[in-house]
Amino acid sequence: MTAIPAPATHAGGESLDAYLTAWAGGDADRATVAQCVAVLAQAGAAIADAVLLGPLQGSLGAQIGAANADGDQQRALDVIADQKIIAALQQADVAYYASEEEEAILTLKAGGALAVAVDPLDGSSNIDANISVGTIFSIFRASPEGATESFFRPGHEQVAGGYVVYGPHVALVFTLCEGVAHFVLDPADKTFKLIGDGLKIAPTTREYAINASNYRHWIPPIRTFIDDCVAGASGPHGKDFNMRWVASLVAETHRIFVRGGVFLYPADERKGYEHGRLRLLYEANPIALLAEQAGGGATDGFVRILDKQASTLHQRTPLIFGSAEKVTRIATYYTDTNFERTPSPLFGERGLFHV
């Protein structure tokens, strides 16, 4: 039998530590932010180890007890990820910590310089199916007025944001509000190494991501936009589209950064979805910051995401982000009467999808 050669070890680019050190220079405020990103990356590497073991350590997707503070069913890996992030942030100058898994804002270090909001394990319902999951983080300067004031402010006041995606490889994508950097975890030495700096989202796209099973619940602007995409080259867009849906925000986001696209999770007519479903503070805010830093856009349909201000810890929002041209076009469906349509025959009472 012919031996299969071992894969070559790739040295990769600049290390994360070197990159952050160079960015911070001699500025103490920048150094504080850099340290915070570094320890979040360390937590991401630790979470990646837990994800890698999968069912060898039991069902990470198993439901445990009651729903979390945000009303979603808490799973084993949600708690593991939350604990690892809290432990990591103890090493940084972080005053306040907000998490999907916590009922209230935690004080980690009185007088600390930063406030960090995190979704510790996005997409955890997919973990047992071996689908990519991730961690999303947002960093603000801590307010001298206290914990709530540190977070309940417009998203454009973030000083950094990003995510770690645990997939076939572990990727860290973040912004320090000077463009978007892409790192990959080298499994040989457990070091994040630079793959690309100044990432850009393709300005236009033929690909959209939405949960089409909710079609009947959508409000007219979303339904009309999707109808126009489904119409393809013969429709208003004049081109054919592909649809994608992973049901993991981090996985959807990473795909859009790699090859373009637009993501839609709108408000709809179901109870509990009237104001959207994603969380403004620790999901929409950092994703919107990344999108804009990469030349894309992010809106709730009417308002730029980064101009919104949370008033509760787990406040929800609609989220549409990705390629700038498509985000702008979708927003016009909300406001321009020229985009009003009669219901599409594809989805009508006797349409193709009627059962």
* Residue numbers belonging to the annotated binding site: 100, 119, 121-125, 211, 283
Annotated binding site for Mg(2+): 100, 119, 121-122, 283
- The per-type count for the chain, helices as H runs and strands as E runs, is 8, 17
Quick one: the chain helix, strand, coil %, rounded to 5?
35, 25, 35
Rounded-to-integer distance, Cα 78 and Cα 64, Å: 10
Give all strands of the β-sheet with 180-186 in edge-to-edge order: 106-107, 94-99, 114-122, 133-141, 160-166, 170-175, 180-186, 191-197
The binding site for substrate consists of 122-125, 211
Are 281 and 310 within 8 A, CB to CB? yes
Residues in the chain: 355
In this structure, the number of other CB atoms found within 10 A of the CB of residue 222 comes to 24
Q: How far apart are CA 109 and CA 169, in angstroms?
A: 33
Distances (CA, A) of 203 to 43, 71, 244, 323: 33, 36, 18, 5
